[in-house]
Structure 1
Amino acid sequence: MAKFTKAAAMFTAAETARQWARKNPQQASDYIDKATGFVDKRTHGKYHDRIAGLSRSVKKNLTGHDTVDGSPLSGQAPPPPSGPKKPFPDLRA
Structure 2
Amino acid sequence: MGMFKKLAVLAGAAGAVGSYVKKNPEKVNQAVDKAARFADQKTKGKYSDKINGVTQKVSDATKPRPAH
Q: Same fold (TM over 0.5)?
A: yes
* Percentage of matched positions with identical amino acids: 36
Larger Rg: 1
Unaligned runs of 5+ in 2: none
Taking structure 1 as reference, are residues 10 and 52 closer, same or farther at Cα in structure 2, changes over 3 Å only? Answer: same
User: Is the counterpart of residue 52 in structure 1 residue 43 in structure 2?
Assistant: no
Query: For 1:23-52, what per-residue CA distance to the aligned partner results, in whole angstroms no more than 9, with x for missing partners?
Result: 111111111111111111111110001111
Q: How far off is 1:60 after superposition?
A: 2.9
Secondary structure at the residue paired with 2:46? Answer: coil
> Which protein has greater RCO, CA pairs closer than 8 Å, 6+ apart?
2
Query: For 1:39-68, what per-residue CA distance to the aligned partner results, in whole angstroms no more than 9, with x for missing partners?
Result: 11111110001111011213333x2x2xxx
Which protein is richer in helix relative to its size? 2
Unaligned runs of 5+ in 1: 70-93
Normalised TM-score (structure 1): 0.60
| CA–CA distance in structure 2, aligned partners of residues 60 and 16 of structure 1 | 19
Q: Report the equivalent of 1:13.
A: 13
Q: Report the equivalent of 2:28.
A: 28
Please tell me the root mean square deviation across aligned C-alpha atoms, in Å. Answer: 1.8
